[in-house]
Amino acid sequence: MIPASLRELLDATHGQRRAEWAGREVWLANEPWGELAVSLQGAQVLHYRPAGESVDDWLWVTPTPQDLPGAIRGGIPLCWPWFADERFADESPDHSGPMHGPARKAEWRLDAADEHAEGVEVHLSPVERLHSQLVPRAVIRANAQRLQVELITEHRGETPVKLTAALHSYFAVAHSHACRVEGLAGARYLDKLEDFAEHVQQGELGIRGAVDRIYQSNRETVLDDGRRRLRIAKQGSDSTVVWQPDDAPPDDVPGEAGHRFVCVEAACTRLDPVWLVPGAQHLLATTISRDETAR
């Protein structure tokens, strides 16, 4: 579910254009294949809806976004070059710096928006340097069947660098307690609500309360909210993060909206950090599509 003001901008869009929303520049597409909205703050996908979608938007965005320089909660924020508060010594010797790294609050430029018969491919890069040795770029592909987000990191320095990252996807659901995440059965996980205690997932994951877990898994998952099944595939990731705050949402989420999303994230975390050597690249990607298998 997206805020009404963003919905109004999309309804007034025919083809592609730039606009301002919540104090940020956004790039919008409303095409025969579907809709896409990307904030140039953070190269953040805010909205995707393929043509023919009969239920609702696929992504959730808070109706009360923070003012700049705060980040927008929802959509698919880019967590880079660290996930959560895992800051690394080469960039943050005193372990300071923003939660999830600087990329999600930084200004990004739209390098290209290549339209083709089936959809669109959008390329973005940061306006300013975000790391002394690493350089990120984002590629977003959308059509009537799927949304794909790629976060590509290039090492342009001289010494190895430890990297963690995430595509922090917020999926719109009718109610979090009606959801289950399939594909994680048998996976080892760290429970952040239990001081990172280690467990093994028994059966499929049903969301019945607050969840904040890092699963060691490279498998694709399916999010089922009782109305719709979304298949979440990934690449370059051996961690899947599942987060839902239940009755204690962050301050920028009004109480009535706290159960309207579930986060299922392709990530590289403390369980699978990436060591990049000079000249190397890393690709972290997530691909979201309808799951047509029988429930």
Any domain includes 295: no
Q: Percent of the chain at pLDDT above 70?
A: 95
Domain that holds residue 278: 78-106+116-290
- Give the pLDDT confidence of 204-250 residue by residue, as tens digits: 999 999 999 999 999 999 999 999 999 999 999 999 999 999 999 99
Instruction: Report the alpha-carbon distance of residue 217 to residue 140 in Å, rounded.
Output: 24
For the stretch 122-131, contacts whose Cβ atoms lie closer than 8 Å and that sit 24 or more positions apart, written own/partner, are 122/27, 122/36, 122/38, 124/38, 124/40, 124/43, 126/43, 130/80, 130/81, 130/101, 130/102, 130/103, 130/106, 131/81, 131/91, 131/161
Any domain includes 87: yes
Any domain includes 66: no
Q: Which CATH number fits the domain that encloses residue 256? A: 2.70.98.10
Any domain includes 3: no
Confidence (pTM): 0.94
- Give the pLDDT confidence of 134-193 residue by residue, as tens digits: 999 999 999 999 999 999 999 999 999 999 999 999 999 999 999 999 999 999 999 999
